[in-house]
Amino acid sequence: MACMLLLASPCMAEMLDLSALGDIEEAQTFEEEAPQREWTYPISYELLTTSDYIVLANRESLLDESFVPDDLVKDLSCRKISSTPIQMRQTAADALCALFDAAQADGIYLYAHSGYRSYRTQKTMYYNRLEKNNSKDDGVVAYPGSSDHQTGLGIDVINKDGIGKKFTTAFGQTKHGKWLAEHCWDYGFIIRYQQDKKDITGITYEPWHLRYVGVQVAQYMRDNHLCLEEFTQEWKEAVAEYEAAER
């Protein structure tokens, strides 16, 4: 009888092992069949998490003092207010040239006024503005590190009549300003500081200030009437929710 029990033991052990293995396989099958969370945001996850054209620069998201884009062109090849070099990042510069060509085809002649500005230049402009405005920040000049111009993706665009004159919101009512507001999105640009978004951007309405974000993003922002702050919050929340569900 003892011998028979001894002989039976390996069989029982084997049965236990097979049972445990079955549990493991069942768990693995469940994991494999578990549906993956679907990405539903209208812009791809890959674009949002890898593009550096959608970087946000404002008072809550300051660029470092040492930040300088590494793909700045030496000078724009499109129409400018003077022979003084204007820099932008390469892709944005190419898109601006395409935008100007399209405008010219419609009888609209645009001029590039101011592109990339260093942190140091922006700092000088900001404190000069404070001196002229009794130390009050009125949102006309961006705080150092918060300027689109430092990204190399921002550009001020005006018409011939505006050369040498102070920028005013009246530009938005000119045929040039209206053309920009209607067509800039199709070339990857947004009106960075919109008239009804001042409370969000902290900057007064600037119909002349374009910002390159890429065509898909620009058109999405136009269709949903978003400023860059709103878009950034929206897509980051979508990414965070998606990544949390994947863990």
Q: What is the total residue count of the chain? A: 247
CA distances 83 to 73, 77, 97, Å, are: 15, 11, 16
Residue type, 123: K
The answer to whether residue 100 sits within a structural domain is yes
Question: 134 pLDDT band (50/70/90 cuts)?
Answer: confident
pLDDT of residue 13: 46
Q: What is the mean pLDDT of residues 131-160?
A: 92
Assess whether 206 carries a catalytic annotation.
Answer: yes
Note whether residue 20 is domain-resident.
no
| From 32, 33, 206, 230, the catalytic residue | 206
**Is residue 33 in some structural domain?**
no
Share of the chain above pLDDT 90, in %: 78
245/240 Cα distance (integer angstroms): 9
Which pLDDT score is estimated for 246?
A: 79
Domain assignment of residue 7, yes or no: no
Query: How many domains, the chain?
Result: 1
Residue 29 domain-assigned (yes or no): no
pTM given for the model? 0.84
6 falls within a domain:
no
**Residue 247 pLDDT level (bands cut at 50, 70, 90):** confident
Average pLDDT, the chain: 89
Structure tokens at 99: 């935008």
Q: What is the pLDDT of residues 200-235, one digit of tens each?
A: 998 989 999 999 999 999 999 999 999 999 999 999
First to last CA, the chain: 54
What is the residue range of 142's domain? 45-246
- What is the reported pLDDT for 14? 45
Could you tell me the CATH number of the domain that includes residue 99? 3.30.1380.10
Residue 232 counted as domain residue: yes
Strands 111-114 and 154-158: antiparallel
Quick: pLDDT tens for 160-183: 999 999 999 999 999 999 999 999
pLDDT of amino acid 24: 47
- Candidates 102, 71, 91, 114; CA nearest to 212 is 91
Residue 31 inside a domain? The answer is no
Per-residue pLDDT of 25-63, as tens digits, reads 454 544 455 456 899 999 999 999 999 999 999 999 999
| DSSP H or E run through 238 | helix 228-246
Q: Give every strand in the sheet of 154-158, ordered side by side.
A: 111-114, 154-158, 206-212, 189-193
Please, are residues 221 and 190 in contact by the beta-carbon 8 Å criterion? yes
pLDDT band of residue 8 (cuts 50, 70, 90) is: very low
